[in-house]
Amino acid sequence: MIENRTILIIEDDFFISDMYRLLFMKKGYDVIVAGDGEEGLSKARSTKVDIILLDIMMPKMNGIDVLKALRNDKSSTKDTPVFLLTNLGQENIIKEAFKIGAQGYLMKANLLPQQVVTQVEDYFAEQAKK
């Protein structure tokens, strides 16, 4: 069982974020949802989270800009794991995200929702071994 891990989902599509929220909650996670980049950045800075699932194409602030802000040296979130959860598969954006400090990249269109949950759980299990 999970020891009260908190996941922040930054996703502008309510139906997608709600679906992931419910799936992770069924697995015992605490889940926080933000509907745009600015709200997500604010929640990431004000709440201790164990992982962030971040969409790229969002209003107010895109995911790459959010990631840059999260990775700022002065930010309390500079070491928080971030996985991009998006349908944007452009290689230059993926490379930029990893260069900025993303831990992973999950294509919504290529993964079933349960596979996304499994990937996050696998990441936590891998970190627990270290």
Output the pLDDT for position 1: 44
In a domain, 39, yes or no: yes
Output the pLDDT for position 35: 95
In a domain, 1, yes or no: no
Output the pLDDT for position 127: 86
In a domain, 24, yes or no: yes
Query: pTM score, two decimals?
Result: 0.92
Q: What is the DSSP string of the chain?
A: ---S-EEEEE-S-HHHHHHHHHHHHHTT-EEEEESSHHHHHHHHHHS--SEEEE-SS-SSS-HHHHHHHHT-TT-TTTTS-EEEEES---HHHHHHHHHHT--EEEEGGGS-HHHHHHHHHHHHHHHHH-
> CATH code at 90?
3.40.50.2300
Domain of residue 99, residue span: 6-129
Q: How many domains does the chain have?
A: 1
Using a pLDDT cut of 90, give the percent of the chain over it. 63
In a domain, 75, yes or no: yes
pLDDT band with cut points at 50, 70 and 90 for residue 102: very high
